[in-house]
Structure 1
Amino acid sequence: MWGRLWPLLFSFLTAVAVPGPSLRRPSRELDATPRTTISYEELSGMRHFKGQAQNYSTLLLEEASARLMVGARGALFSLSAHDIGDGAHKEIHWEASPEMQRKCHQKGKNNQTECFNHVRFLQRLNATHLYACGTHAFQPLCAAINAEAFTLPTSFEEGKEKCPYDPARGFTGLIIDGGLYTATRYEFRSIPDIRRSRHPHSLRTEEAPMHWLNDAEFVFSVLVRESKASAVGDDDKIYYFFMEREEGSSSFTQSRSNHRVARVARVCKGDLGGKKILQKKWTSFLKARLICHIPQYETLRGVCSMDTDPSAHTHFYAAFTLTTQWKTLEASAICRYDLTEVQAVFAGPYMEYQDGARRWGRYEGAVPEPRPGSCITDSLRSRGYNSSQDLPSHILDFVKLHPLMARPVVPTRGRPLLLKRNVRYTHLTGTPVTTPAGPTYDLLFLGTADGWIHKAIVLGSGMHIIEETQVFREPQPVENLIISPMQHSLYIGASSGVIQLPLSSCFRYRSCYDCILARDPYCGWDPNTHGCMVATTIGNRTALIQDIERGNRGCEGSRDTGPPPPPLKTRSVLRGDDVLLPCDQPSNLAQALWLLNGSKGLSDGQDGYRIGVDGLLVTDTQPEHSGKYGCYAEENGLRILLASYSLLVRPATPAPAPQAPATHGAQLAPDMRLLYVLAIAALGGLCLILASSLLYMACLKGGRQGRRRKYSLGRAGRTGGSAVQLQTVSGQCPGEEDDGDDGEGPGGLESSCLQIIPGEGAPAPPPPPPLPPPAELTNGLVALPSRLRRMNGNSYVLLRQSNNGVPAGPCSFAEELSRILEKRKHTQLVEQLDESSV
């Protein structure tokens, strides 16, 4: 009973635990945080290619010729692998004709996305030709392309047995020793299939009396050369990874008919099919369940293979999307699977479909010999079974009814290497990297659904995300990834184009500590050049300082352990005011530590201190707050000084009292008084004359309806320059209504307005100069957009005017400061750093 209830309980506990960080669990078990974040604007060394086509999702790298082949919608491209944006590319236009597009649209397909020729397959066919297949508006075609001339042939091959109709269908394909191995849905509205074509013995999966594949969506396929140096004469195998619908199961938690599961299947390359039973069908097809973390709600998104010599050490990495039962959380997981474990599952017990219970159950009967589904080995050849066509009928009957294995394939050490919340990985690739010290590590590049790349290294039973990089300005899924060790480049295919990035950015690490904390296998600190160098670019690789396993040792004897000492900055603030001491952490994994006078550690929320991700905020400063402040970054046991401040809290001085005007020693002379009286009298006379003139003009205006008079003050006979004109404007004033009175003009004399308007020759006054940008004040804050008035000690009232002219009301200084800090990048003041946030 507990065996059946445990998966359901585990799913519930995971759904509860994953959404929020738990202090009781290590961060790596719950969520992985990239150490550094590189935005699109900070990219360095990026190259970009975009032609007239769209959907650059099919990539083929040829290291020998340093060419990157790209299959897109309606076109193929041949790019320089050294620099894909050099402009010296070759292009093939391969569009579906308007007639084919019209027929596609008549079938009910979308003429904006589906009724085109989407190139889904592009691989090397032989020494001189490439082989490409496209959907061709739901009428697939294939072509052998001359690689050197890079031109289409005069004739094409039918692609119905080799390429999917639908461009959105899962598809995977390989060309192995001249044979074409593909897996997808081929015919229009047909069932999925794994097929071998362009081969003397064409094969496919079985459909009766049961489907070996049930609504499958294929993700990845790979050839493993298991025959190389095999002591038993084993055969090479092709492994397929896919999702399919599970019809029925004996498990309590897996009884839903529409439940989809991840699978891994394999076939033997030397399979020739059966002689009477399973004619032109696989005799070596077996499949097994693939489990990563939450068996009930995981979707396989991508797989990559790490091929090794010998093949027994080959392993796979798979990216899954994890969704809880309540669909309130989406996360991703990365699991590793060793080939030896996959082989052990295919050598284990079988499942069989029980018609009465209409579900799969474990087969408890005897397994016949030779073992069903196995490849032809030296042992079988010695017994007269030289090919699959020599196998007995009862063996092939067993294979036909028992394609599913009983045991699932579980990840290495039984758990994921990586869990990442709020991220959906869409593609992944990897490469082994040998470090100067000797050990080899697997380096993975993970593409996300919103156009980011996570670079991660596998360390023991976990993964360390070195950096996350935004490779597309507009969010879009990463559809393909290819690594070129020779070009030291990563190629990224997406709907908008192809991106080329360097595999490492060691120049970003400015100190020995920063270089080893990154734990990038490509980077090491060179004590001779005092720089973080790419390990493959220098001769004496052993001189580099690296610490991939621990990430904090090796720099003790180097004089470049940390960055250069920061300059001491001075801050002066009045008592009772607030001051911000900025300090940005360079790493998302670092914790901020503030020390006062070199010894006293500051705690957030105590004594007026607020520690945030962007600095230290000291509120209501007092004399005891004066001193020297040091900002440190603590990461993985190392402490680095980032900023240093000297804070002085000055006493608040009261505003000086207004002084009464002096009454002695400054009296005016009598003659001066007389001059002032005469000047005032002259001004009064002028005002009287001006008032009389205005009254006279108003009377004249009353006798001349609708007539406008101009009075210009200026030099007579001068046409240039500026002139000030006084106009009396008859008619309604703004806001007044015409009362229809026939009196003196519309509105009468009483309703007329006197306006001063620019004259005809007067140029428009220049616009006022723009306001200066906010400047940083001495207390570290940016100048506030509204005026702060200090009242009653350290209290503040914010004076603002709303849009309608009504005062918006006072608000506290803390409220306004919070608004300002929220607008700045990385300025939220949090209780502690959340490792799941970047």
Structure 2
Amino acid sequence: MLVMTHPKLPAITLMLLCSSASVLWGFPFGPVLDLDVIPRTTVPFNGLLGCNHFHGQTVNYSTLLLEDGSGVLYVGAREALYALDTANISAIRNNSSIDWAASAEQKKQCLSKGRDDETECYNYVRFLDRYNETHLYTCGTHAFRPRCAYIDVERFSFVRFEEGKEKCPYDPFKGYTGFIVDSEMYSASQYDFRSSPDIRRNFPFPNLRTEEAPTKWLLEADFVGSALLRESINSSIGDDDKVYFFFTERNLEQKPYSSQTRVARVARVCKGDIGGQRTLQRKWTSFLKARLVCSFPEYELQFNILHGVYVLEGPNVQDSLIFAIFGLEWKNVKTSAVCQYSIRDVQAAFDGPYMELQDSKWREYTGKSPGLRPGSCITDQHRAQLINSSRDLPDNVLMFVRRHPLMAREIQPIGGRPLLFKKNADYTNIAVHKVTALDGNTYNMIFTGTDDGWMHKAVQLGDRVHMIEELQLFKESQPINNMVISYKQKSIYVSAASGVVQVPLSSCMRYTSCYSCVFARDPLCGWDGRQCVDISTYPVRSNLTQDIQMGSRGCDNITEDGFVTHRTRSVMVGHDLLLLCELRSNLAVPHWTLNGEEMQGYAVDTGYRIGTDGLLIIGAQTRHGGHYSCYAVENNVWIPICSYMVRVQPVPPPSPHLPTDPTALAERFFTTSTLSISPSSESNEQPLYPLPSRPEFHTNLHMEAMYISMVAVLGGLCLVLTVVLLYVSFCAHSAPSHRKYTQQELSITPTTERKQSSHVELKTISSHCNGRTDGLYAAASTDEEFLQIISGDGQVSPNKEPPPAPPLPMPPPLPATEYANGLSASLPTVLRKINGNSYMLLSQMDSDMTSPLYHSFTEELNRILEKRKHTQLDMQPDESSV
């Protein structure tokens, strides 16, 4: 059978696939995208303040142990351990590092097992905790043969090694969690080669673990965290302390969300559990697990992959909170959510009905359960029946626990939905700091680390959050491995593959005005009348200004930095003018006024367009002259940024000496061409060689000579243009099409009849606020030698130098306060949205530009440029029309 293929079928298929992808993205996320939390400010790596960095001789700094009282931060990395000073981690103490590499023989055996010698056949430190007053305890993968060791704290050296197969995973990249409390070690991971997950108490005797038959308690579990809550303190029922483990596992539930292959869980065991007497010997008798739900139920969007947790203890255990970060099961979608849970809700789930495994699916159990609550800790009720430990529990209770580890009641987040939703980010770690602000209220500051080396800092305001800032902590993109907070040093320590960074909990000195300090809503910062300061350093706080709830009250000075810049701009009638206004806050919206009245810049007939970082006047007319002011509007407060006095100059009349008939025009062209190459030209009004008044014969000879000269000149010009076109064509074919713009130089010699000389340099600059590079944009600045234009289509290899510009005569400088077309030498550091003007139009490369206002702005510029391409060139063009 012959199949005919339409030539446009691949393109049509591609369009259908793209539209389907957009539908898939918009279906679950479209309404939710409005809930995306935007950081108020973005701080690149070179803009960090007060940070200290540590980089040892190794990589993979994954394990952190902070001892705030003694001022030591212990760090476990690949084949090394370090003891750092919490005041400044940049300097290593004397004898404060230990090399712990796997032997050459062990690495050889690792290779023989089929493991990767570049990543797996090393000793990765996975566990590090305080064992007693004099020693630390640590475990490492040791090239797929785990080892553990005791460390003498005073000398910071090993004193004894032991087998680690039951305490540390073989694989350095498997999920793992653990801690030591009261000389008891608890850990959870996939330990052996079979990768079977397990929750264990490793010492002291008796060691306990989870059950595998007839009902598997854990199904391909990936652990992310654990915590101890001392629920026995002030307990009226004589309750026991609980150990909680958090993980994601394979889903076998018969529920509406059963289409999800994995679900998030929390498991609980009792600290006093010692296993059963006959049933569940050396197994947990108190193991129970329940599902953690994090979703937008109105949009049927479920976050089911658990990435990290942080347990924030309250004044009493019942008031403790769990902050958990979630992702989606879809690997190609970067979206994260933070859900907040109450320990009371967790306890209620473990006190609810059970699930039962029926036909390989978990369904709610509706039968009768034993009299004593299965899976509960030993309480006064048990002791009254002479059950003083788990070994005294009846067999029927233990058999029920063995077959019913899963609870039917799901644990819903506080508020029924995520506390924080962030698109285009994968959170890998979380830490929470409780702060008391000037208003007397306590706020939770939430720190989240991303998979590309950034940290987001937010403050919880009831059922929502305000994101204060995002910080680029590492130059190279890499996941954040661990985060710990020092209350004594007021710092947070963040580790990644390349090192550890010490970040102040708050950088108040970054805010240089009252409003920038108040707008930040940082509970640690306040305005003292002169500067933004850390409120904890002020014993008397009555004169400090802070507004966490509204972020707008308390300031008298209306300007953001104490002053407003004033500039003067001139433009010729019919030309375009760009007025720049740089906003320092991602949450601020630009508003413009003309002569004191607010402008609405999106109607077709207004003659101007407003972008995020500027205002473009299109085809300036006399009515466009006046006083323009730009304001940054945030939290309903108008902050003046800059003002412009715009003057629209009339177009000068054509020169009276310019002939209109063809013969005179040819003579004029010949004379002007001679003039342009003459070193002694002084005037545009008199030709260098006056046309003589001769007899007809001589006149014809003269005209013949003139025509021959014109043909020669035009032939030379054609030759030059041919060479230039061949050179440009060669460069265009040789430059790779996938590389970004660098610079292209185009030299233009001004004609002798121009009134002014304006040499403008257009360059690509960063597109993201405060230095984060997501695309390419154009900025303009004055230059004294040449005009540089970056082509919107052509590209130049970044590895090659651009061709040199031919030498040009030095033009007279312009006045300092007035520039042709309003292009100032003092440009903003960022142009986020505006990507074109009358000088050029760059192709848009920023995927975030989805605003309809932005597209209408660009389309209007395209329309103007297309219209101007077909208009007749002016014989006396002004520089601003280039």
TM range (shorter): 0.7 to 0.9
- 2:480 aligned counterpart, secondary structure: coil
Contact kept? 1:581, 1:780, Cα under 8 Å: no
Contact kept? 2:759, 2:786, Cα under 8 Å: no
Task: List runs of 5+ in structure 2 lacking aligned partners.
Answer: 1-21, 658-683, 693-746, 750-757, 764-777, 797-801, 804-834, 857-882
Which residue number corresponds to residue 334 of structure 1? 338
TM (normalized to structure 1)? 0.77
Change in 2 beyond 3 A, CA 1:627/1:349: same
Matched, 1:117 2:128: no
CA drift at 1:322: 2.2
- Provide the C-alpha distance between the structure 2 equivalents of 1:109 and 1:99, rounded to a whole number of angstroms: 14
Change in 2 beyond 3 A, CA 1:210/1:817: farther
Change in 2 beyond 3 A, CA 1:601/1:157: same
Which residue number corresponds to residue 231 of structure 1? 236
Change in 2 beyond 3 A, CA 1:561/1:365: farther
CA drift at 1:600: 3.3
Contact kept? 1:787, 1:798, Cα under 8 Å: no
Which residue number corresponds to residue 145 of structure 1? 151
Matches within 5 A, 1:289-300: 289-293=291-295, 298-300=304-306
Which residue number corresponds to residue 199 of structure 1? 204
CA drift at 1:190: 4.0
- 1:202 aligned counterpart, secondary structure: coil
Matched, 1:819 2:841: yes
Change in 2 beyond 3 A, CA 1:833/1:394: farther
Contact kept? 1:787, 1:800, Cα under 8 Å: no
- Provide the C-alpha distance between the structure 2 equivalents of 1:616 and 1:359, rounded to a whole number of angstroms: 62
Matched, 1:637 2:644: no
* Equivalent residue in structure 2 for 1:315, among 316, 321, 325: 321
Contact kept? 2:760, 2:787, Cα under 8 Å: no
Which residue number corresponds to residue 534 of structure 1? 534
Matches within 5 A, 1:71-82: 71-82=76-87
Which residue number corresponds to residue 359 of structure 1? 361
Contact kept? 1:611, 1:830, Cα under 8 Å: no
CA drift at 1:662: 9.6
CA drift at 1:661: 4.1
- Provide the C-alpha distance between the structure 2 equivalents of 1:661 and 1:588, rounded to a whole number of angstroms: 59
Task: Tell me how many residue pairs correspond in the alignment.
Answer: 688
CA drift at 1:310: 0.5
CA drift at 1:94: 0.2
Which residue number corresponds to residue 456 of structure 2? 454
* Equivalent residue in structure 2 for 1:389, among 378, 388, 391: 391
Q: Which amino acid aligns with 2:334?
A: E
Q: Which amino acid aligns with 2:218?
A: L
CA drift at 1:817: 3.8
CA drift at 1:385: 1.4
Change in 2 beyond 3 A, CA 1:393/1:180: same
Matches within 5 A, 1:732-743: none
Superposed CA offset, 1:509-533 (max 9, x none):
1222211111111111113xx2111
Q: Which amino acid aligns with 2:639?
A: I
- Provide the C-alpha distance between the structure 1 equivalents of 2:322 and 2:794, rounded to a whole number of angstroms: 62
Q: Which amino acid aligns with 2:528?
A: D
Q: Which amino acid aligns with 1:631?
A: C
Which residue number corresponds to residue 349 of structure 2? 345
Which residue number corresponds to residue 656 of structure 1? 655
- Provide the C-alpha distance between the structure 2 equivalents of 1:296 and 1:814, rounded to a whole number of angstroms: 41
Matched, 1:249 2:253: yes
Q: Which amino acid aligns with 1:204?
A: R
Matched, 1:584 2:582: yes
CA drift at 1:88: 3.3
Which residue number corresponds to residue 223 of structure 2? 218
- Provide the C-alpha distance between the structure 2 equivalents of 1:420 and 1:146, rounded to a whole number of angstroms: 44
CA drift at 1:823: 9.4
- Provide the C-alpha distance between the structure 2 equivalents of 1:185 and 1:826, rounded to a whole number of angstroms: 40
Superposed CA offset, 1:517-550 (max 9, x none):
11111111113xx211111111213432221122
- 1:409 aligned counterpart, secondary structure: coil
Matched, 1:373 2:375: yes
Change in 2 beyond 3 A, CA 1:653/1:283: same
CA drift at 1:496: 0.6
Contact kept? 1:336, 1:416, Cα under 8 Å: yes
Change in 2 beyond 3 A, CA 1:199/1:87: closer
Contact kept? 1:580, 1:781, Cα under 8 Å: no
Q: Which amino acid aligns with 2:129?
A: Q
Contact kept? 2:572, 2:651, Cα under 8 Å: yes
Change in 2 beyond 3 A, CA 1:189/1:774: farther
- 1:100 aligned counterpart, secondary structure: helix
Matched, 1:545 2:545: yes
- 1:543 aligned counterpart, secondary structure: coil
Change in 2 beyond 3 A, CA 1:42/1:370: same
Q: Which amino acid aligns with 2:568?
A: T
Q: Which amino acid aligns with 1:136?
A: H
Contact kept? 1:37, 1:468, Cα under 8 Å: yes
CA drift at 1:652: 1.2
Contact kept? 2:63, 2:77, Cα under 8 Å: yes
- Provide the C-alpha distance between the structure 2 equivalents of 1:255 and 1:582, rounded to a whole number of angstroms: 52
Matches within 5 A, 1:763-782: 781-782=780-781
- Provide the C-alpha distance between the structure 2 equivalents of 1:482 and 1:420, rounded to a whole number of angstroms: 22
- Provide the C-alpha distance between the structure 1 equivalents of 2:847 and 2:249, rounded to a whole number of angstroms: 44
- Provide the C-alpha distance between the structure 2 equivalents of 1:358 and 1:825, rounded to a whole number of angstroms: 45
- Provide the C-alpha distance between the structure 1 equivalents of 2:229 and 2:417, rounded to a whole number of angstroms: 24
What fraction of aligned residue pairs are identical, expressed as a percent?
46
Matched, 1:409 2:411: yes
Which residue number corresponds to residue 831 of structure 1? 853
CA drift at 1:830: 7.0
- Provide the C-alpha distance between the structure 1 equivalents of 2:56 and 2:36, rounded to a whole number of angstroms: 39
- 1:242 aligned counterpart, secondary structure: strand
Which residue number corresponds to residue 240 of structure 1? 245
Change in 2 beyond 3 A, CA 1:260/1:824: closer
Which residue number corresponds to residue 503 of structure 1? 505
Matched, 1:569 2:573: no
Contact kept? 2:83, 2:92, Cα under 8 Å: no
Q: Which amino acid aligns with 1:282?
A: W
CA drift at 1:563: 2.7
CA drift at 1:14: 9.5
Which residue number corresponds to residue 482 of structure 2? 480
Change in 2 beyond 3 A, CA 1:490/1:14: farther
Change in 2 beyond 3 A, CA 1:590/1:821: farther
Superposed CA offset, 1:735-760 (max 9, x none):
xxxxxxxxxxxxxxxxxxxxxxxxxx
- 1:479 aligned counterpart, secondary structure: strand
Change in 2 beyond 3 A, CA 1:818/1:430: farther
Matched, 1:178 2:183: yes
Which residue number corresponds to residue 126 of structure 1? 132
- Provide the C-alpha distance between the structure 2 equivalents of 1:632 and 1:183, rounded to a whole number of angstroms: 55
- Provide the C-alpha distance between the structure 2 equivalents of 1:297 and 1:826, rounded to a whole number of angstroms: 23
Matched, 1:494 2:492: no
Instruction: Report which stretch shifted further, 545-554 or 437-446.
Output: 545-554
- Provide the C-alpha distance between the structure 2 equivalents of 1:516 and 1:72, rounded to a whole number of angstroms: 40
Change in 2 beyond 3 A, CA 1:130/1:799: closer
- Provide the C-alpha distance between the structure 2 equivalents of 1:402 and 1:338, rounded to a whole number of angstroms: 24
CA drift at 1:359: 1.1
CA drift at 1:608: 1.9
- 2:60 aligned counterpart, secondary structure: strand
Task: List runs of 5+ in structure 1 lacking aligned partners.
Answer: 1-11, 668-768, 790-796, 805-812
- Provide the C-alpha distance between the structure 2 equivalents of 1:549 and 1:600, rounded to a whole number of angstroms: 28
Q: Which amino acid aligns with 1:496?
A: S
Which residue number corresponds to residue 172 of structure 2? 167
Which residue number corresponds to residue 16 of structure 1? 26
CA drift at 1:72: 0.3
Change in 2 beyond 3 A, CA 1:417/1:559: same
- 1:55 aligned counterpart, secondary structure: coil
Change in 2 beyond 3 A, CA 1:135/1:521: same
Contact kept? 2:294, 2:302, Cα under 8 Å: no
CA drift at 1:798: 12
Which residue number corresponds to residue 760 of structure 1? none
Which residue number corresponds to residue 621 of structure 1? 620
Q: Which amino acid aligns with 2:154?
A: E
